[in-house]
Structure 1
């Protein structure tokens, strides 16, 4: 499917608002970005760039925000319709926020989020 930037951002905002409060409470200095596609890994759906909370010694003052990047085209490529795209965005947000909390891909896989 295809979706333009504005409609995708609205979808991301809706799905972020629908996340469990215990997952997003306490997120600190994290920004969400949308890009078309990761040039190095074109099928990558999202990525967390930053230090997870388990690695943040002396972190905080004047630091640039950590980033969660969602890749619009890659997510749209694996989605047949808007309902499926919403589900994939939701899962990707949970996955990347979990990295912020210090969970690695093996742990996420065990929990069914990878």
Structure 2
């Protein structure tokens, strides 16, 4: 899929983030949502990444640390999608997946909760 620049992709991510259930996003603390063109290794295999310390592994946290980051990669998303609707759906799935990692959930737990 072509024609979605970095600004438009970021808007789509924000739109999808706003649509997520309150119980999923209300507990997020010290997390920045970031969009980048592609992962550092240049691959198109990774749609998103949770970069931080999940809640189940935190001790004293939140006192001056840089925020955790949830990164969504634009080019891999565009490569995986044919339409803007497909792109929105994939962004949604990626957000839910990475937020789940913030909470310390594995893929099985995400499915149990109906988040994946």
- Structures share a fold, TM > 0.5? yes
Partner of 1:39: 40
Q: For residues 49-107 of structure 1, what are the alpha-carbon distances to aligned partners after superposition, in whole Å with 9 as ceiling and x for unaligned? A: 10111111011100100000000000111110000000000000000000011102343
Give unpaired runs (5+ residues) of structure 2: none
Normalising by structure 1, what TM-score? 0.91
Normalising by structure 2, what TM-score? 0.90
For the aligned residue pairs, the C-alpha RMSD in angstroms reads 1.5
Q: CA deviation at 1:39?
A: 3.2
Q: 1:86 aligns with which of 88, 96, 111?
A: 88
Describe how 1:1-114 pairs up with structure 2 within 5 A: 1-2=1-2, 3-40=4-41, 41-108=43-110, 113=116
